[in-house]
Amino acid sequence: MLLDLPPEILELILLALPPDSFAIILMTSKALRAAILATPKILRCQLLKLPGLRPSDQATISELLRTFNRRAALNASNGLQAYADVIVNKPSVAESHELWTRPKFNWIQRCCVDGCYRGVLATAADYCGTIHVYRIRKGRIIPLYKLDPRNLGLDEDDSPYIRYRCVAMRWQRCHNTHLDHLVALFGYSVESAAHGTKGSYISKFVTEAVEKAQCTYHLCGWKLCKDTTKPAFSREVQAPPDYEPIIIATTEDFSADYTCYPVAVIFRKILVPINIYKLSIYQVTDTRTVHVPVIASEQDAVAGHYFSEPITRARFTSGRHPELWIFGSDTAPLDIVTDCVSEGVLSLRFSYSSGRPRPRNILFTSTTNPTSFKGLPIKSHHAHECGKYENGSTYCVQTILELVITRGKQSGAFLVKYAEEQDFCSPYNINVELPAMEFTVVAMLLGLKVPSSSEMKHIIALSPDQEWVAIADWDKVKIWGLHTDAFFKQEHGSLPPLLTTHSSFDFSRTWEGKQNKALRHEFGALDDKAYTTNCAQGYFHDHIRIKGKERKRIVGIRPIELPSRGVVFSLAFANKNILWAWTDRGLVKWAWNKRRQGLREEVILQQL
């Protein structure tokens, strides 16, 4: 029917199509493909809807077509919603079963040891407290272990009447010199059948156990061997009265440099409308587990720590002196506990109770940040010997790209670029706290709802090559292609500076060029070693202006929404184009590239 339209109308329709629909037409309709290839105008227009530098004026039709196909495939815009493979692995139990309907106990994590990919590890805890462990490798889900708390000897006296439940768990990545660890926190309850006769041993035991179970938990760890598991440690954890544990965290990179590794437990006060928490650090060694309280003042030790919003997660930094970062709904931590392997009482660095709130919003009209805004580090770039000082010594430029989710007048997800000159050649480790540096807001991830209305807030996963970021908000999963080289290297992110370009690109010499402000922003600047001027604005062709006196112009990156398969509990990339998630429907796999065929499958998840 489209071919019956006048050529002028057909051209307008093809120009207005989104690039993913346009790519599908190129693949499926020979007649429309012939009409498109009759003139370069349509392909040039569609290329400007995809990330990538403007094509040369001398490019032929065949070169434009190859460029479009390559960019469409790289940016997942060639009908990803229709062509992505989606496979749901459903556990062979009832849909109301707790095996995969409790978000705190369905955890998935990419496992990489010394840079070598070892698959994705997935865990789920059932109503009896048993933890099911799976390894995902080359698309196959392999049941590995069933970790039963009863095997730790926690209930030797009266095992038939005590029922365990998993409260929280966390994986610990290890190096080749150590085995993988899984740390879990268990609570327990007593079955009514265990009360026995009055005065009997069972009755006395149960009475004491019921009282003890209200505030006693078991912190356990397992070493995961090739064919079996070994208990690593087990100790009792006493919860403060009227508090319940909600989150545990452990070091994510356990190496031979550690004399001990910390495990953090966060307790929340129950039956109160405000966010009051208490924190404890347990330093685990081969021979003992030492409890270290976390307080900011004597008042905090009694009343607990107050936070302006609920705590949703916590993690440790890597290194010999790990810090505990506590997060709410944003990428910036609410608070920090420093040097968690030192002896003595630990304290919060930025305690709200001490009147030193942590900055929450980016100042978009500023170029320096004296306190170094915390975000999710994505990638760093080290430019070696970029220039010379007056004394003749050379300097390097260190740049870091971070994802920051902010609220307030300008809410959203932004890419922030930090830059610093160094008189020494030493790239930063983005897994530890970074020093204060100058920053520039360079991009915004479009299509993300901030703040999230989900009780689990935003769940973020970064691909192993740092080129994709996936964010889940309840049952919606969106991915953004970042193309980090476009933010670090001027030759990848901008057209050559105006003074060195061909006259056909030098629009600043004509009245028409002066009016074309959008194209002028695509050019780089001379001697911009940190590449902060027009950063990536020649590569991404969607631009927005953020609020403020300067009306700063930044890049807008459009998302691709994956087919929904239930409420998302956790996310992890297996590689650059395969994403796994635990949802309330089971283990879900999304795979996308130009060879996918739009599979929609549901299979049964095997269990031990």
Residues 270-287, mean pLDDT to the nearest whole number: 82
* Residues in CB range of 509: below 8 A, 6 or more apart: 503
**Does some domain include residue 405?**
yes
Whether residue 499 has pLDDT greater than 70: no
Q: Is residue 413 part of a domain?
A: yes
Q: What is the pLDDT of residue 537?
A: 92
347 in the same domain as 389 = no
SS3 category, 269:
strand
Question: Does 67 map to a domain?
Answer: yes
- Judged against a pLDDT cut of 90, whether residue 557 lies above it is answered with yes
Q: Find, among 393, 400, 479, 390, the residue nearest to 442 by Cα.
A: 400
Output the pLDDT for position 103.
56
The full length of the chain comes to 608
Helix (H) or strand (E) holding 169: strand 162-172
The pLDDT assigned to 357 comes to 37
Across 63-77, 181-195, 393-407, the highest mean pLDDT is recorded for 393-407
Is 124 a residue whose pLDDT tops 70? yes
For the entire predicted model, the pTM comes to: 0.83
Question: How far apart, in whole angstroms, are the C-alpha atoms of residue 218 and residue 265?
Answer: 11
Bridge partners (DSSP) listed for residue 190 = 162
Whole-angstrom CA distances from 433 to 197, 371, 374, 376, 447 are 59, 11, 9, 11, 29
Domain final residue, candidates 14, 46, 78: 78
Reply yes or no on whether the pLDDT at 300 is more than 70. Answer: no
What integer best gives the mean pLDDT of the chain?
A: 76
Phi-psi region of 392 (alpha: psi -120 to 50; beta: other; left: phi over 0): left
274 versus 297: which is more confidently predicted?
Answer: 274
Residue 240 neighbours by CB under 8 Å, 6+ apart: 215, 267, 278, 304
Domain region containing 38: 2-78
Mean pLDDT within 234-239 = 84
The yes-or-no verdict on residue 16 having pLDDT over 70 is: yes
- Residue 448, amino acid: L
Confidence of residue 492 (pLDDT cuts 50, 70, 90): very high
Rounded Cα distance, 429 and 318, in Å: 9
Local structure of 423: helix, strand or coil = coil
Note whether residue 550 is domain-resident: yes
Are 427 and 537 within one domain?
yes
User: Residue 471: pLDDT above 90?
Assistant: yes
Interval 565-585: pLDDT, tens: 989 988 989 888 899 998 888
Is pLDDT at 459 greater than 50 in this prediction? Answer: yes
Question: Are 353 and 391 members of one domain?
Answer: no
State the angle between helix axes of 40-47 and 7-16 in degrees (0 to 180), rounded to the nearest 10.
Answer: 20
Position with higher pLDDT, 155 vs 210:
210
φ, ψ (nearest 5 deg) of residue 111: -110, 120
With b for 16 or more beta-carbon neighbours within 10 A and e for fewer, the 180-196 pattern comes to bbbbbbbbbebeeebee
Are 285 and 392 found together in one domain? no
Does residue 581 form part of some domain?
Answer: no
Tell whether the model's pLDDT for residue 488 goes beyond 90. Answer: yes
pLDDT computed for residue 405 by the predictor: 84
Inter-residue contact 382 to 353 (CB < 8 Å): no
322 and 414, same structural domain?
no
Residue 367 pLDDT level (bands cut at 50, 70, 90): very low
| Mean pLDDT within 398-406 | 87
Query: 299 and 393 in one domain?
Result: no
From 345-349, 361-365, 526-530, the region with the lowest mean pLDDT: 361-365
Last residue of a domain, one of 45, 60, 78: 78
More reliable by pLDDT, 473 or 390 = 473
pLDDT of 5 > 70? The answer is yes
Q: Which has the higher per-residue pLDDT, 329 or 161?
A: 329
- pLDDT above 90: percentage of residues in the chain: 9
- Domain final position from 327, 358, 389: 358
Give the model confidence (pLDDT) of 518-555 as tens digits: 677 888 888 888 898 889 999 998 888 776 555 678 99
Q: In 3D, which of 60, 81, 139, 134 has the Cα closest to residue 578?
A: 139
Residue 508: predicted pLDDT? 46
Q: What is the structure's pLDDT at 362?
A: 46
Beta bridge partner(s), residue 157: none
Which DSSP state fits 153? T
- Number of C-beta neighbours around residue 62 at 10 A: 9
Tell me whether residue 512 is in a domain: yes
Count the domains in the chain. 3
Is there a contact between 534 and 525 (Cβ–Cβ < 8 Å)?
Answer: yes
Identify the pLDDT of residue 109: 75
* Reported confidence tier of residue 359, pLDDT bands at 50, 70, 90: very low
> What is the per-residue pLDDT across 436-449, written as a single tens digit (0 to 9) for each?
677 888 999 999 98
List the alpha helices (DSSP H) in 140-225: 201-213
Would you call 210 helix, strand, or coil by DSSP? helix
Cβ atoms of residues 444 and 414 within 8 Å: yes
What percentage of the chain has pLDDT greater than the value 70?
73
Q: How confident is the model at residue 224 (pLDDT cuts 50, 70, 90)?
A: confident
Residue 334 and residue 399 in one domain? no
249: three-class secondary structure by DSSP:
strand
Contact of 100 with 106, CB cutoff 8 Å: yes
Q: State pLDDT tens for residues 371-385.
A: 445 678 899 888 877
User: Is 388 inside a domain boundary?
Assistant: yes
pLDDT band at 451 (very low <50, low <70, confident <90, very high): confident
Residue 588 predicted with pLDDT over 90? yes
Tell me, what DSSP letter sits at residue 22? H
Lowest mean pLDDT among 144-158, 329-343, 427-441: 144-158
Predicted confidence at residue 395, as pLDDT, reads: 81
Tokens of 202: 């069972």
Q: Are 521 and 495 in contact (CB under 8 A)?
A: no
pLDDT tens-digit profile of 36-85?
888 888 888 888 888 999 888 888 889 998 898 888 877 755 455 557 88
**477 and 384 within one domain:** yes
User: Looking at the domain assignment, is residue 198 inside a domain?
Assistant: no
pLDDT of 514 over the 50 cut: no
Q: How confident is the model at residue 283 (pLDDT cuts 50, 70, 90)?
A: confident
Q: What pLDDT score was predicted for residue 516? A: 57
pLDDT of amino acid 468: 92
Q: Are residues 541 and 428 in the same domain?
A: yes
CB 352 within 8 A of CB 305: yes
CB atoms within 10 A of CB 24: 16
Same domain, 416 and 521: yes
- In this structure, the answer to whether residues 340 and 381 fall within a common structural domain is no
SS (H, E, C) 441-507: EEEEECCCCCCCCCCCCCEEEECCCCCEEEEEECCEEEEEECCCHHHHCHHHHCECCHHHCCCCCCH
| 356 within 8 A of 328, measured Cβ to Cβ | no
Q: Which of 7-21, 542-556, 557-571, 591-605 has the lowest mean pLDDT?
A: 542-556
Mark whether 513 and 446 lie in a shared domain: yes
